[in-house]
């Protein structure tokens, strides 16, 4: 059986200039912080970042923004990170705002092999600009296309030795869905246990989705 364990440095080295990267977390809760720190040190640049939010300038994905390693962000909000706001206002980065429900459904659509999802959320707002509108039974919907990534970096509470994952509380957030929507999936786990020690009912991400494991 393949050994999936790598170091945070090795994980960071797999993120290359210009890649599209999904990173789990809600205001840094459930984020793979050790991997993020190593990416900051690596100096990789021109990333497209898919994330729920841009956290804080000194924490979570916000570190990448503050270090000016990101060129484009697809996210639901940026209000907790003044660095993101400043760079956006100065046109140093571009941002596609996606309502949180739409964002997670677009990621889920990628993981499920769907061509997109139809949603009324955003109709009549800037969210619909440049997007196809589909009328179903007299109601207009936005066609939200899938979001794929080169790499997904996710955080888990517990991983077993082959990459079955479980999450505690709200740390789950976007992580399980992101694990289905990228070519390469790297998890940073707070705890690692032997195979079989996680109750099957508690597995939220199956090992088949996980490429590499980093022990936090």
User: What is the domain-level CATH number for residue 208?
Assistant: 3.40.1080.10
DSSP string, 87-98: HHHTTSSEEEE-
pLDDT at 2: 80
In a domain, 139, yes or no: no
**Average pLDDT across the chain, whole number:** 97
In a domain, 128, yes or no: no
Task: Residue 57: give the domain boundaries.
Answer: 8-116+145-215
How does pLDDT run across 107-144, given as a tens digit for each residue?
A: 999 999 999 999 999 999 999 999 999 999 999 999 99
Query: What percent of the chain is helix, strand and coil (3-state, nearest 5)?
Result: 25, 30, 40
In a domain, 197, yes or no: yes
In a domain, 134, yes or no: no
In a domain, 3, yes or no: no
In a domain, 102, yes or no: yes
pTM for the whole thing? Answer: 0.95
In a domain, 62, yes or no: yes
């Amino acid at each position: 059986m393949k050994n999936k364990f790598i170091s945070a440095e090795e994980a960071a080295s797999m993120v290359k200039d210009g890649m599209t990267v999904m990173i789990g977390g809600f205001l840094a809760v459930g984020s793979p912080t050790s991997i993020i720190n190593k990416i900051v040190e690596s100096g990789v640049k021109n990333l497209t970042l898919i994330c729920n939010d841009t956290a804080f300038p000194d924490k979570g994905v916000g570190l990448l923004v503050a270090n000016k390693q990101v060129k484009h962000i697809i996210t639901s909000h940026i209000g907790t990170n003044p660095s993101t706001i400043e760079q956006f206002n100065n046109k140093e980065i571009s941002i596609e705002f996606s309502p949180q429900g739409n964002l997670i459904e677009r990621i889920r659509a990628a993981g499920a092999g769907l061509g997109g999802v139809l949603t009324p959320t955003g109709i009549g707002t800037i969210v619909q600009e440049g997007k196809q509108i589909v009328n179903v039974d007299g109601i207009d919907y936005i066609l939200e296309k899938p979001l794929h990534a080169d790499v997904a970096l996710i955080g888990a509470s517990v991983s077993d030795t082959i990459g079955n994952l479980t999450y505690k509380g709200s740390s789950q957030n976007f992580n399980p869905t992101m694990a289905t929507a990228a070519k390469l999936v790297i998890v940073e786990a707070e705890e690692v246990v032997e195979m079989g020690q996680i109750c099957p009912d508690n597995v939220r991400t199956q090992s088949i989705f996980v490429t590499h494991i980093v022990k936090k």
